[in-house]
Copies of this chain bind each other. A is one copy, B any other.
Amino acid sequence: MGTIVNPNVSTREKLERAQAASPRIAGLSTEQKNGLLLTMADAIETHAAEILAANQKDLNGSGVEGAMRDRLLLTAERVRAMAAGMQEVASLADPVGEIIREWKRPNKLLIRQVRVPLGVIGIIYESRPNVTVDTVALALKTGNAIVLRGGKEAFHSNQQLVEILSSVPGLPQGAIQLLDSTTRDSVQELIQARGLVDVIIPRGGAGLINFVVENSIVPVIETGAGNCHIFVDESADLDMADRIVINAKTQRPSVCNAAEKLLVHEKIATTYVPRIAQILSSAGVDLRGDKETIRLAGSVNIRPAGAEDWGEEYLRLCIAIRVVSDVEEAIAHINRYSTRNTEAIVTENEANARRFLRAVDSATVFWNASTRFSDGGEFGFGAEMGISTQKLHCRGPFALAELTSSKYEVIGNGQVRG
């Protein structure tokens, strides 16, 4: 290994190489980009053995166990899935060059807003090696250079993957840069590189995201945190509520669109609290609750929810339940404690649903569906870069279009301003 992923090149120089590469990547046609993506997919399949061997070195590292081991682990099937993901991105529509809008002014100036690449995208992430491949695919498809700063636990896997992807013939030199993952210095330099990097996307735990948000002078798309709520209204179809709560809490508890809090309307609480507490408890969910919940739940074991519970993202089989007086109290609770990612209301009352959809200040709000659908794939984007929890640039699940900017091209015939 080694000519492309060169440890002797400084972070600064890697960023400058990405910047220098960006106009050449932006200049690739859709056909050229798709061709590169398909060749990369083939290269991943061809070199599956080397990828698995590199991954094995990472798995042998110290402290790699439990959930981290699973996130880090590559299998033949997972390698095939990475290649398939690249083929999928090749099949999606290219957003670059799209005319967003076009109009003519009374003075005959023709103004056209055109979608263009962002330039250089920086991504800081943790253990999962598939993020390396997914990100390269999305960046290349949108005509951007990409700077990757993965986790040190995935060092060998990421080196091998970037070596394979970078070696594809026809890829502009410098298009993919992998930063040193063994030191935090590379993160520091990346987030200070305003002018060389156009956006930084942190993907990982709250600690990583907060560090990037608070220290970056490059614009950031904040992703990830999800303290998601479900409100079961007075008029809810309780069988539907059962299905949605169980799905949102237990189908994949470690992700940011899993439900973490359940709010129950007081008029149905006598019936619904013991019922859902029993169902959740049987599914192995650790329960917390306010006083009223504990009182109503009877024999089901519920621990008192402390003040810190309402703001916490458990990311495991745990949920806190609170009884609220009406939809307004539910909205107020959510807008106070939510991370503004995803929430849901279960109700047959359309007025309450409309009120909830409008007043809850979160990226995605569901009426009668599981919070687990807050996802680029489930939205039909064909891919996902993350879920934005900020309001600038993009909000909610985002993929290709959100990795672009725009410019105004204005055509005149000699107009000057009077």
A residues with CB within 8 A of B = 23, 27, 103, 105, 109, 111, 118-119, 194, 198-199, 213-214, 217, 219-221, 237, 240, 243-244, 246-248, 251, 335, 353, 357-359, 361-370, 372-374, 378-380, 390-393, 395-397, 405-417
**Complex interface: chain B residues within 8 A of A368 (CB):** 411-415
Q: How many Å lie between the Cα of A411 and that of B409 in the bound state?
A: 38
CB-CB nearest 5 A-B residue pairs: A369-B412, A247-B416, A391-B405, A372-B417, A240-B414
**Complex interface: chain B residues within 8 A of A365 (CB):** 407-410
* Residue from A105, A358, A363 whose CB has the most chain B CB atoms within 10 Å: A358
Copies of chain A in the complex = 2
Min CB gap A415→B, angstroms: 4
Contact (Cβ within 8 A) A417 B370: yes
Q: How many Å lie between the Cα of A154 and that of B192 in the bound state?
A: 34
Contact (Cβ within 8 A) B412 A361: no
Min CB gap A118→B, angstroms: 5
**Complex interface: chain B residues within 8 A of A414 (CB):** 237, 240, 243-244, 368-369
Asked if A214 meets B213 with Cβ closer than 8 Å, knowing A370-B415, A392-B199, the reply is no
Min CB gap A414→B, angstroms: 4
Asked if A410 meets B198 with Cβ closer than 8 Å, knowing A23-B359, A219-B390, the reply is no
**Complex interface: chain B residues within 8 A of A217 (CB):** 213-214
Q: What are 29 A-B contacts defined by CB distance under 8 Å?
A: A111-B380, A119-B391, A194-B213, A199-B392, A214-B217, A219-B220, A221-B392, A237-B414, A240-B414, A247-B416, A353-B411, A357-B411, A364-B410, A365-B410, A367-B409, A367-B410, A368-B413, A369-B412, A369-B415, A369-B416, A370-B415, A370-B416, A372-B416, A373-B412, A374-B408, A379-B408, A393-B393, A396-B407, A397-B408
For residue A237, which residue of chain B has the nearest CB? B414
Q: How many Å lie between the Cα of A243 and that of B412 in the bound state?
A: 13
Q: How many Å lie between the Cα of A23 and that of B30 in the bound state?
A: 43
Q: How many Å lie between the Cα of A141 and that of B380 in the bound state?
A: 33
Contact (Cβ within 8 A) A364 B199: no
Q: How many Å lie between the Cα of A251 and that of B417 in the bound state?
A: 8
Contact (Cβ within 8 A) A379 B214: no
Q: How many Å lie between the Cα of A362 and that of B194 in the bound state?
A: 16
**Complex interface: chain B residues within 8 A of A406 (CB):** 395-396
**Complex interface: chain B residues within 8 A of A372 (CB):** 416-417
**Complex interface: chain B residues within 8 A of A361 (CB):** 23, 119, 407
Min CB gap A249→B, angstroms: 11
